[in-house]
């Protein structure tokens, strides 16, 4: 997807006119640009503060040299570059085609003929590098671009000449764990045989959709790469033995690229002849989009309040543990430009050593900045649904009942039978629920929090004797989805707005239109933000849509890729959607900043990070974020908590968690007065927002949090109990 330029992006860089943004991250920005003669290029720039690092400048220059070595047949042709400029830049061919990982995610594994043709072409590309005494060292699916004319290798950020150890430290590995060779994983010198090992992993991914050593944490991957047999399940039988030889632990047993090329393909036919029709159609649409795109520049954002103590940019020395420069992925169309990347660590198999100062143990004692107020093991909170406050009352949703808990003592005040969490919603000051009578007629009621009885009008919902689910309440209006539970046709889905005082229907509209798809009753959540109602779903394909709160008019729809994986469900209610009134911030494979008024993606964060499994667009890498004072905070699959500037999507700081309490992605962090709290694998972790120091605070397993209106009481739901913690 081509994203609009920001208000402070330059008009030109080195004579190239900027047309759109392709991607941006903590290291730099990649633009779609055009030369004075009309040539379309991918123009990569580096932030000035990163360019001040002499080691980075050396790597950037080596990247340019390696990209020139491979040339325009097997890579993105380099048109121009200036590694010595105040803001280093590189202008390359803009490749009309998706990276391999996005092609597989969007169209499924490639047929065997396509895998073989791609493998043979990549053998030619690697052979050209190796004949020039250059090794790539980071071949992976996201670094292979699929154009109609053949695959192209990109990302030469850690490529280097054979025997050149100027940028390599003893015992240090560089690359991507899921696709690096055993010798590379143990910190030894990388040879052409290591690139062959990585190539086999890439081909296995293309044929099956998964790498030969799975995914997960870097240390686990490195162990499997060094000691475990590759998993070639799903690889075509005739191809599996070829890849198995390439994946031999002993590099001397692997075939050379010249020998491998002949085993993979006979060279007949054009490369496009072997690609699936759907993938070819996507490439054609991309070509049209590039030439039809009309440049757009966003206006300057309104002034934000002072970011406060959590937004201080820490001093950093040397290279960070993320990509130096990477391919600019286009999430919607599956297009990327050439890039470069590096991830460095020391001895991950043997020990854990945090970078950038790492976690600090403080003298706060066993619980640090938290003090236990009470515990409650009788409320039986539903695991997925967070507790919430209605005024000063704490409400817990069980499987079939509501429980009102006294937030001061933790004592259960009353219980109310309820058939489903989809039948309860609160606007923070009142609680509303749906009740069905013996004949199935539905009524909307407001609940008296003192007596647990209905108060005010009991509103009978006309013509809704079938199914209805409350999704949001705000400013005197309750929003619900209704329709027939046995008839999923589009016309049977309705979105209604009911006045909570008069009980009158304000408006109702069909819940789906030409741009949307129907999803079952009870699968939705929503949040009211000014005049916009943002609605999301819990289906397999997570989609956000926006409606005008005054009329129900459809404003926009946007699909969020990989918002929820099997082990993560970052949003359980609309209240957990992070917004600052102007933008939504969504954690998925990337962190997305989405403008609420029109659904435009303003920036994406994460393209320049290394996640180990390197399946950037097919895996959930970020949990639901939280935003305050111009800073977005989120747990990251690397094991860190990151703080990102809301204006530009740039990294402000990151704090790696210790290996025994890595953050989980299943619930948003919580911001207290002075600390950020997150759900960890072994307990509740805390990060000081002033010093960015990590402090392990509580060993209890808590998740799904609520915070009182004074931001002092943190309520957490665990597997067997609830706990209230005072945030000091």
Q: Which residues are catalytic?
A: 138
Kindly provide the b/e burial profile for residues 493-528, where b requires at least 16 CB atoms within 10 angstroms of the residue's own CB. Answer: bbbbbbebeebeebbebbbbeeebebbbbbebbbbb
Report how far residue 704's alpha carbon sits from residue 724's, in angstroms, rounded to the nearest whole number: 12
- Give alpha helix (H) positions in 228-363: 240-246, 257-264, 277-292
List, in sequence order, every residue forming a beta bridge with 300; answer none if it has no partner.
none
Q: In angstroms, what CA-CA distances link 437 with 318, 458, 460, 466?
A: 67, 12, 10, 12
Report how far residue 708's alpha carbon sits from residue 408's, in angstroms, rounded to the nearest whole number: 11
Cα 605 to its chain centre, rounded Å, is 8
Kindly provide the b/e burial profile for residues 212-251, where b requires at least 16 CB atoms within 10 angstroms of the residue's own CB. Answer: bbebebbbbbbbbbbeeebebeebbeebeebbbebbbbeb
543-548 and 532-537 strand pairing:
antiparallel
Query: DSSP class of residue 363?
Result: T
Strand extents, DSSP E, 116-224 = 134-135, 144-147, 150-153, 160-161, 172-174
Taking the CB of residue 540, how many other CB atoms lie within 10 A of it?
7
The residues, ordered by sequence, that sit 6+ positions from 686 with a Cβ below 8 Å of its Cβ are 368, 369, 370, 675, 676, 677, 694, 695, 696, 697
**C-alpha distance across the termini of the chain, in Å:** 45
Tokens of 265: 């393909």
- Give alpha helix (H) positions in 250-400: 257-264, 277-292
Taking the CB of residue 465, how many other CB atoms lie within 10 A of it?
14
Burial of 270 (0-12, 13-18, 19+ CB in 10 A): exposed
Neighbouring C-alpha atoms within 13 Å toward the C-beta of 52: 5
CB 645 within 8 Å of CB 672:
no
388-390 and 393-397 strand pairing:
antiparallel
CB 544 within 8 Å of CB 519:
no
Element (H, E) at 60: helix 54-74
Tokens of 635: 């747990």
- Residue of 361, 351, 296 whose CA lies nearest to 21: 296
């Amino acid at each position: 997807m081509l994203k609009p330029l920001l208000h402070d992006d330059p008009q030109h860089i080195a004579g190239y006119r900027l047309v759109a943004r392709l991607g941006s991250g903590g290291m730099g920005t990649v633009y779609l640009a055009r030369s004075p003669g009309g040539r379309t290029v991918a123009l990569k720039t580096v932030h000035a503060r990163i360019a001040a690092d002499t080691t980075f400048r050396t790597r950037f220059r080596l990247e340019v040299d390696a990209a020139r070595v491979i040339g325009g047949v097997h890579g993105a042709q380099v048109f121009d570059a200036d590694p010595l400029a105040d803001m280093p830049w590189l202008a390359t061919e803009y490749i009309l085609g998706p990276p391999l990982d996005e092609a597989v995610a969007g169209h499924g594994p490639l047929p065997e003929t396509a895998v073989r043709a791609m493998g043979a072409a990549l053998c030619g590309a690697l052979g050209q590098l190796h004949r020039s005494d250059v090794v790539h060292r980071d071949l992976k699916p996201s670094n292979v671009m699929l154009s109609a004319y053949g695959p192209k290798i990109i990302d030469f950020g850690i490529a280097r000449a054979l025997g050149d150890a100027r940028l390599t430290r003893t015992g240090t590995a560089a690359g991507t764990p899921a696709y690096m060779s055993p010798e590379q994983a143990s910190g030894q010198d990388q040879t052409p045989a290591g690139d062959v090992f990585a190539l086999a992993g890439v081909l296995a991914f293309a044929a099956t959709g998964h790498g030969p050593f799975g995914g997960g944490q870097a240390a686990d991957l490195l162990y499997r790469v060094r000691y475990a047999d590759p998993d070639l399940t799903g690889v075509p039988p005739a191809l599996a033995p070829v890849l198995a030889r390439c994946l031999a632990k002993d590099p001397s047993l692997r075939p050379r690229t010249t020998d491998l090329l002949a085993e993979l393909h006979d060279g007949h036919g054009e490369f496009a002849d072997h690609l699936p029709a759907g993938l070819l159609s996507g490439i054609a649409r991309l070509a049209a989009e590039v030439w039809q795109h009309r440049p757009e520049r966003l206006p300057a954002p309104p002034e934000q309040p002072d970011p406060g103590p959590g937004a201080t940019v820490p001093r950093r020395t040397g290279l960070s543990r993320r990509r130096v420069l990477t391919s600019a992925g286009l999430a919607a169309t599956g297009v990327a430009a050439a890039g470069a990347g590096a991830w460095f660590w020391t001895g991950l198999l043997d020990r854990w050593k945090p970078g950038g100062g790492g976690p600090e143990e403080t003298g706060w004692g066993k619980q640090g900045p938290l003090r236990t107020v009470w515990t409650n093991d009788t409320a039986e909170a539903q695991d997925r649904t967070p507790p919430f406050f209605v005024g000063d009352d704490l409400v817990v949703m069980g499987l079939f009942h509501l429980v009102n808990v006294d937030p001061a003592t933790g004592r259960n005040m009353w219980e109310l039978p309820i058939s489903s969490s989809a039948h309860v919603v609160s606007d923070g000051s009142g609680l509303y629920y749906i009740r069905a009578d013996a004949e199935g007629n539905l009524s909307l009621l407001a609940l008296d929090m003192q007596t647990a009885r209905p108060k005010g009008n009991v509103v009978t919902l006309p013509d809704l004797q079938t199914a209805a689910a409350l999704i949001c309440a705000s400013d005197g209006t309750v929003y619900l989805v209704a329709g027939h539970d046995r008839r999923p046709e589009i016309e049977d889905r309705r979105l209604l707005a009911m006045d909570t005082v008069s009980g009158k229907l304000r408006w109702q509209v069909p819940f789906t239109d030409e741009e949307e798809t129907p999803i079952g009753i009870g699968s939705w959540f929503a949040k009211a933000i000014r005049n916009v109602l943002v609605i999301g779903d819990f289906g397999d394909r997570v989609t956000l849509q926006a409606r005008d709160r005054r009329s129900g008019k459809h404003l926009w729809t946007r699909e969020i890729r990989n918002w929820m994986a099997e082990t993560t469900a970052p949003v359980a209610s609309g209240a957990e959607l992070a917004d600052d009134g102007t933008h939504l911030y969504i954690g998925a494979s990337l962190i997305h900043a989405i403008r609420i008024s029109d659904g435009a993606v303003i920036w994406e964060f994460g393209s320049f990070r290394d996640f180990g499994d390197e399946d950037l667009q097919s895996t959930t890498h970020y949990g639901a974020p939280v935003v305050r004072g111009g800073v977005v905070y989120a747990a990251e699959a690397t094991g860190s908590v990151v703080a990102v500037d809301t204006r530009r999507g740039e990294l402000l700081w990151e704090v790696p968690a210790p290996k025994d309490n890595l953050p989980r992605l299943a619930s948003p962090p919580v911001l207290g007065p002075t600390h950020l709290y997150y759900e960890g694998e072994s307990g509740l972790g805390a990060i000081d927002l002033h010093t960015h120091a990590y402090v392990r605070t509580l060993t209890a397993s808590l998740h799904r949090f609520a915070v009182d209106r004074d931001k002092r009481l943190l309520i957490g739901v665990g597997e067997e109990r609830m706990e209230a913690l005072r945030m000091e």
